[in-house]
Structure 1
């Protein structure tokens, strides 16, 4: 009887081991990266915010201080949003590139739409490859 219990336990363990692990959802993964960068901006943590930038962005802004100054000047709604929420997302080429729409209410009361481009890196991780922000003129407010 003891041998039968051991065999049953071993079979049960093998079933769980043979079930493939669920691959991470790249849309969800990249959404968390964007949230983490926004959190870093809100804390004025240039080093952490810069760590999420793709190599192409780092080539244009090779220093975290220069990068941070550019974001403060040109991307104020992203740098210090009042509130934000994720809108639509789109995955291209089996997750090689992910676009996220982020709806932002600026601290000045203006509404913005930010489109984040996320690119998969050679190590399989994702980085922010660019952000385009446009005023949201369709917002009716609450």
Structure 2
């Protein structure tokens, strides 16, 4: 699937809105930005928020956020985001995005990968 410039803007906006919702402990908004499959998996906003706060502290309360260039991983439009975790550890969040029938974008999963420091 090819994404347009408008898609890139919309994807970034969805992720930014979800990160802002986590910052405010706004479970309903954060949950609403997840794909139908993710919402079905967690059943309700409280379960989703509890999972994120426990398993994804870098996403739940990042110290900094930097959006990288969108890519495709295994046919999934993926937005890499560099995060600084609460403990100061740099991580890359790979947000798998899903386009809905109404042309909106939802977050269809996120994995965290370590960022290896480069020596110069």
Which TM-score band applies after superposition, normalised by the shorter structure? 0.7 to 0.9
Greater relative contact order (Cα 8 A, min sep 6): structure 1 or 2? 2
8 Å CA contact retained: 1:99, 1:117: yes
Structure 1: unaligned runs, 5 residues or longer: 1-22
Structure 2: unaligned runs, 5 residues or longer: none
TM-score by length of 1: 0.75
Q: State how many pairs are aligned.
A: 115
Please, which of 30, 33, 37 is the counterpart of residue 52 of structure 1? 33
Aligned pairs for 1:14-93 (under 5 A) are: 25-90=6-71
Distance 2:46 2:117 in 1: 35
Distance 2:55 2:116 in 1: 19
Q: Max radius of gyration: which structure?
A: 1
Q: CA RMSD in A?
A: 1.9
Structure 1 ranges of 4+ moved more than 6 A: none
1:12 maps to: none
8 Å CA contact retained: 1:27, 1:91: no
SS in 2 for 1:40: helix
